[in-house]
């Protein structure tokens, strides 16, 4: 049975739609909110954003009326129980409110940590569009969900989940997975800043910090680390290869070096530039001669390597599928039991002791994916906990930042939760 029919049946059985809360009404959150309210059996019930105008804009776009906006728990609780759309500008008490599932879409690791962790402790289901947080403390959040009976999931629509679907498909068909990954959507400008991309961002209707996180490579590094962690495939190497490829050459580019490709081994995660974007791919191989001939006949490649390819991902538009799966099937679309890959922090400028590091998509640092155990060996700081860190030793542009070069902000919840994850032995595979 399709989700639509099941959601309608669930709504009838419960006497109401699934109450969906969302944190962050920016580009991703706004798109998600517009889509979720079109899904039968789901209702956008609560919007949380520091900017009240964004809350009202989202509700206006879906035609909601009689919206209750307050920072009072009792007022919001009554509104939700009465079936009225509600909004608030604070996440302080979010876990206390009567929603069924909450979607974290701020892209800010520390905000996401608070929302996800407190909600899971309150036995509320959590879905995230905040992969930046997931690659930092995803294993702890998955463990917490298991302990409380809630579901923690990364959402459909971004490349990690869609690529994982292809990996699962290939494995179910008994193919050997040689490589999996995505096409990079934006030009790679590793030293870009919000200022250098501002004009393009305005033209696209984007936050310059978000676009900068794409152009400096941070988002790609984060997404591919998430894919590695969820599938158990290893990162190809520190920083990945990132070769140029086309849809027609994927199978040859991602073959082993002895066969003319870029890979030194099979079973890895990587990304490419070229017309593969905005799609995701898996490169497979089979030891069955007849199946090999069938795949050649089906134009998936010339053999022995073949490309399975999805030419799109729909971002927040297809994210509600993960909510349906979580609520109805009690399953996650993507989670990380441990970290096969880490996203380390690389300096985008020279820094001196006393300088304060900003966040992902900012002026000082970018994310750089690494094999998790190599990152641990070299004492590298995950980018998810770098915001607000104070420089203690000289850092040069291009340096991978180590713990002995900075003092991280110990008051930050995501720093505390990362420490907890490490102590519990959940971090490394």
Regarding whether 93 and 175 lie in a shared domain, the answer is no
With respect to residue 244, please indicate whether it lies within any of the assigned structural domains.
yes
With respect to residue 132, please indicate whether it lies within any of the assigned structural domains.
yes
With respect to residue 202, please indicate whether it lies within any of the assigned structural domains.
yes
Regarding whether 309 and 166 lie in a shared domain, the answer is yes
> 289, 303 in Cβ contact below 8 A?
no
Which of the listed residues 301, 329, 357 is the one where a domain comes to its end? Answer: 329
With respect to residue 324, please indicate whether it lies within any of the assigned structural domains.
yes
Q: CATH number of the domain at 127, please.
A: 3.40.50.720
Regarding whether 309 and 168 lie in a shared domain, the answer is yes
Regarding whether 175 and 127 lie in a shared domain, the answer is no
With respect to residue 336, please indicate whether it lies within any of the assigned structural domains.
no
Regarding whether 384 and 367 lie in a shared domain, the answer is yes
Which of the listed residues 265, 299, 329 is the one where a domain comes to its end? Answer: 329
With respect to residue 334, please indicate whether it lies within any of the assigned structural domains.
no
Q: CATH number of the domain at 358, please.
A: 3.90.1210.10
pTM, to two decimals? 0.96
Regarding whether 150 and 92 lie in a shared domain, the answer is yes
With respect to residue 428, please indicate whether it lies within any of the assigned structural domains.
no
Regarding whether 360 and 264 lie in a shared domain, the answer is no
Which of the listed residues 329, 356, 386 is the one where a domain comes to its end? Answer: 329
Regarding whether 390 and 252 lie in a shared domain, the answer is no
- Residue 108 backbone dihedrals phi, psi, to 5 degrees: -100, 115
Regarding whether 251 and 345 lie in a shared domain, the answer is no
Regarding whether 178 and 294 lie in a shared domain, the answer is yes
Note down the domain range covering 252: 159-313
With respect to residue 335, please indicate whether it lies within any of the assigned structural domains.
no
- pLDDT tens string, the chain, 429 residues long: the values are 589 999 999 999 999 999 999 999 999 999 999 999 999 999 999 999 999 999 999 999 999 999 999 999 999 999 999 999 999 999 999 999 999 999 999 999 999 999 999 999 999 999 999 999 999 999 999 999 999 999 999 999 999 999 999 999 999 999 999 999 999 988 899 999 999 999 999 999 999 999 999 999 999 999 999 999 999 999 999 999 999 999 999 999 999 999 999 999 999 999 999 999 999 999 999 999 999 999 999 999 899 999 999 999 999 999 999 999 999 999 999 999 999 999 999 999 999 999 999 999 999 999 999 999 999 999 999 999 999 999 999 999 999 999 999 999 999 999 999 999 999 999 887
pLDDT for residue 1 = 53
Regarding whether 120 and 165 lie in a shared domain, the answer is no
Regarding whether 298 and 401 lie in a shared domain, the answer is no
Please state the domain count of the chain: 3
């Amino acid at each position: 049975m399709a989700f639509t029919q099941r959601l309608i049946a669930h709504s009838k059985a419960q006497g109401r739609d699934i109450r969906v809360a969302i944190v962050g009404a920016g580009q991703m959150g706004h798109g998600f909110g517009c889509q979720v309210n079109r899904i039968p059996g789901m209702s956008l019930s609560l919007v949380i954003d520091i900017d009240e105008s964004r809350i009202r804009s989202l509700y206006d776009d879906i035609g909601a009326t009689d919206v209750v906006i307050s920072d009072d728990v009792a007022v919001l609780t009554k509104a939700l129980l009465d079936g009225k759309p509600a909004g608030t500008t604070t996440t302080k008490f979010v876990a206390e409110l009567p929603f069924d599932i909450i979607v974290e879409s701020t892209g800010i690791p520390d905000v996401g940590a608070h929302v996800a962790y407190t909600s899971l402790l309150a036995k509320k289901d959590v879905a995230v569009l905040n992969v930046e947080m997931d690659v930092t403390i995803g294993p702890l959040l998955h463990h917490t969900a298991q302990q409380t009976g809630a579901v923690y999931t990364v959402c459909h629509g971004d490349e990690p989940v869609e690529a994982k679907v292809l990996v699962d498909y290939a494995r179910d068909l008994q193919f050997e997975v040689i490589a999996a990954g995505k096409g990079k959507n934006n030009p790679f400008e590793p030293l870009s800043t919000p200022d250098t991309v501002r004009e393009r961002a305005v033209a696209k209707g984007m936050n310059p910090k978000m676009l900068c996180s794409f152009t400096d490579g941070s988002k790609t590094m984060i997404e591919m680390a998430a894919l590695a962690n969820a599938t158990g495939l290893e990162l190809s190497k520190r920083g990945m290869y990132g070769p140029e490829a086309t849809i027609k050459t994927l199978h040859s580019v991602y073959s082993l070096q002895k066969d003319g490709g870029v890979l030194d081994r099979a079973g890895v995660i990587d990304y490419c530039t070229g017309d593969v974007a905005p799609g995701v791919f898996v490169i497979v191989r089979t030891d069955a001669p007849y199946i090999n001939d069938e795949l050649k006949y089906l134009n998936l490649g010339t053999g022995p390597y073949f490309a399975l390819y999805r030419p799109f991902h729909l971002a927040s538009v297809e994210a509600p599928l993960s909510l349906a799966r979580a609520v109805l099937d009690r399953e996650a679309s993507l989670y990380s039991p441990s970290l096969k890959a880490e996203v380390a922090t690389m300096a985008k400028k020279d820094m001196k002791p006393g300088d304060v590091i900003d966040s992902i998509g900012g002026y000082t640092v970018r994310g750089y994916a690494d094999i998790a155990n190599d990152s641990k060996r070299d004492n590298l700081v995950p980018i998810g906990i770098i915001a607000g860190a104070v420089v203690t030793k000289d850092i040069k542009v291009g340096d991978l930042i180590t713990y002995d070069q900075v003092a991280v902000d110990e008051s930050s919840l995501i720093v505390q939760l990362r420490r907890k994850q490490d102590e519990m032995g959940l971090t490394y595979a």
